Structure 1
Amino acid sequence: MHTPNDTRTPVTVLGLGAMGRALAGAFLRAGHPTTVWNRTPGRAGELVAQGASLADTAAEAVAAAPLVVVCVLDYEAVHTILEPLGARLTGRVLVNLTSDTPQRARAAATWAAGHGIDYLDGSIMVPTPVIGKPEATILYSGAREAFETYEGTLKVLGGGASFLGEDHGTAAGYDLALLGFFFSAMAGLVHGFALAGAEGVAPKDFAPFTGTIAGILPPIAAGMAEDLARGAYSGDQDNLVMEATGIGHVLEAARHRGLNTEVLDAVKGLADRTIEAGHGNAGFISVIEEMRKPSPTA
């Protein structure tokens, strides 16, 4: 018989997209009895071959384990699947690893509380190949006791299982903030390839040098956090006027080569407005004052 603290706790995984299959596979490799279900048939074959039990219905899947993990496209899909199962989930722990907004995470928590469900909202911060590895980071917030009870089981999915507090929306807040950083950086990286290519630089020659830029970001982030904590935007090492000038040079070169400059135009606009507001001698973090305002086009 399995107990809640047993590392081989039975688990149910609802949703067998690429990430759902990765989650179920990690549980199976760690020896957890794993039941799986998906709205679209035909995705469980490999998991069943590894020992998973395929449920015919979501209700059957939920009944198979005290710990239920759902990972689907969005919270609308979560609602469609779970709304009819509220009573069947009572007394179980529900871990929702679907990416969506903090507001929807809190609404889901309210729904779960109304059905006597211990609810954890989580955010997966790594791609599918990293799931199940020590370096995989998954963030959780919500029911503290549920997290502490099943922490060992959840760490099967990734060694970096961090509990961020009892506000169910916190993990989603981290998730979207980090994704905003990620996608903005990705757009900048693609622009870098475009500009380098326009200057005759082969992608394979350019790529190794991106590590230099990426490597300086963690200490920059730490310094920005310190500035924000003390409410002062130091410009000791650089200042926004200097940085805006550098952005201008990039834009000039890109336009000369006929490239799209939408991304950097937005960055330059933020910098210019921040300088006009009197922060020209501050560091780049000072543009947060403009980012805290609604978008001009909103």
Structure 2
Amino acid sequence: MRDVSVIGLGLMGCELARALLRGGFRVTVWNRTSAKAEPLVAEGAALASSVAAAVQASAVVIVCVTDYQATYRALASTDVTSALAGKVLIQLSTGSPDDAREGETWANQRGIEYLDGAILAIPNQIGKPESAILVSGAEPAYRKSKALLESMAGTVTYLGGQVGGASALDLAFLSYLFAGLVGFYHGARICEAEGLRVDHFGAMMAGAAPAIGGMVRRGGDAIHAGDYENPEASLEICAKAMDLLVRQARAARINDELPAFVAGLFRRGVAAGHGSEAPAALIKVLRAGA
């Protein structure tokens, strides 16, 4: 499995191909705009004249395009699906668990071994220790492609045969990431309102990352075990802290949408009788609202 084709050469696709080249793989690339392939060709990649030619060149085909519909548009023709039969297709475009299940069904109907993956990194992190790739789907396909996956990321985690697993964890990660980023941006507005340097705040948060990670881990353990008793800080204390953030935002005349929204969730938790429990007990409110 030293031959691999990469379909899609956006920023991420280019870096995936580049990492494979560094790993000693024979890489064939295809992109709708062939000019994007020129730097990779200069680094040793082969440029396919068509999607079908790219698929024919390798035993493993990686797709990293805008979304799953773009994948189907690229791979739907009979000559491409015929060439894919018996090969491993790794889907690294962003999608939902339903998209992954539909992709697996589509592949199975055409005799294609299928893996669905999610990249937890930005392009310039690919191939570096801080990057991670999650994959789920057929185990034989994972075993065949394990080495090339590991050349693209510092950590590769196989989640088993439940094909929607990688995309589900990707969306869960993005939920945490983007909610946290908005919280950071609100914190930046607090700093600006008080004349403090936002870059110092950013450095402070980077230093606090291990402690925050510990809080997240404890929250995950509590939710998994259903044990919210004897917390070091209760849900009610968190609710009071969020009320303070709302009050400060209004006094400073900065946007209060984020703290008001989060305070409302915590207050619902207190009203439902979970105030003395751990903050992770807020999951009960989120479950009730499904």
TM-score greater than 0.5 by the shorter chain: yes
Question: What CA distance in whole angstroms lies between the structure 2 residues aligned with 1:228 and 1:178?
Answer: 16
Q: 1:33 is matched with which residue: 26, 34, 50?
A: 26
Deviation at 1:212, TM superposition (A): 4.7
Q: 2:197 is matched with which residue: 191, 197, 202?
A: 202
**1:171 counterpart = 2:140:** no
Whether the 8 Å contact between 1:227 and 1:234 is mirrored in structure 2 is no
Could you tell me the percent identity over the aligned residues? 36
Q: Which residue of 1 aligns with 2:187?
A: 192
Q: Cα 1:144–1:277, aligned 2, differ >3 Å: closer, same or farther?
A: same
Q: Which residue of 2 aligns with 1:265?
A: 260
Deviation at 1:236, TM superposition (A): 2.4
Structure 1 gap segments, 5+ residues each: none
Q: Deviations over 1:92-150 (max 9, x none)?
A: 00000111100010000000000000000000001111111233210000010111122
Equivalent positions of 1:1-298 (< 5 A) are 4=1, 9-84=2-77, 85-294=80-289
Deviation at 1:229, TM superposition (A): 2.6
Deviation at 1:209, TM superposition (A): 1.8
Deviating beyond 6 angstroms after TM superposition, the runs of 4 or more aligned structure 1 residues are none
CA RMSD of aligned residues (A): 1.3
Structure with more helix by fraction: 2
Deviation at 1:67, TM superposition (A): 0.5
Q: Which deviates further from its counterpart, 157-166 or 12-21?
A: 157-166
Q: Cα 1:219–1:100, aligned 2, differ >3 Å: closer, same or farther?
A: same
Question: What CA distance in whole angstroms lies between the structure 2 residues aligned with 1:153 and 1:241?
Answer: 48
Q: Cα 1:208–1:159, aligned 2, differ >3 Å: closer, same or farther?
A: closer
Question: What CA distance in whole angstroms lies between the structure 1 residues aligned with 2:244 and 2:281?
Answer: 21
Deviation at 1:216, TM superposition (A): 1.6
Whether the 8 Å contact between 1:62 and 1:68 is mirrored in structure 2 is yes
Whether the 8 Å contact between 1:139 and 1:163 is mirrored in structure 2 is yes
Q: Cα 1:294–1:82, aligned 2, differ >3 Å: closer, same or farther?
A: farther
Question: What CA distance in whole angstroms lies between the structure 2 residues aligned with 1:87 and 1:61?
Answer: 13
Q: Deviations over 1:45-76 (max 9, x none)?
A: 11011011111211111111000000011111
Structure 2 gap segments, 5+ residues each: none
**2:151 match: secondary structure:** coil
Question: What CA distance in whole angstroms lies between the structure 2 residues aligned with 1:50 and 1:212?
Answer: 37
Whether the 8 Å contact between 2:223 and 2:283 is mirrored in structure 1 is no
Question: What CA distance in whole angstroms lies between the structure 2 residues aligned with 1:77 and 1:222?
Answer: 36
Length, aligned pairs only: 288
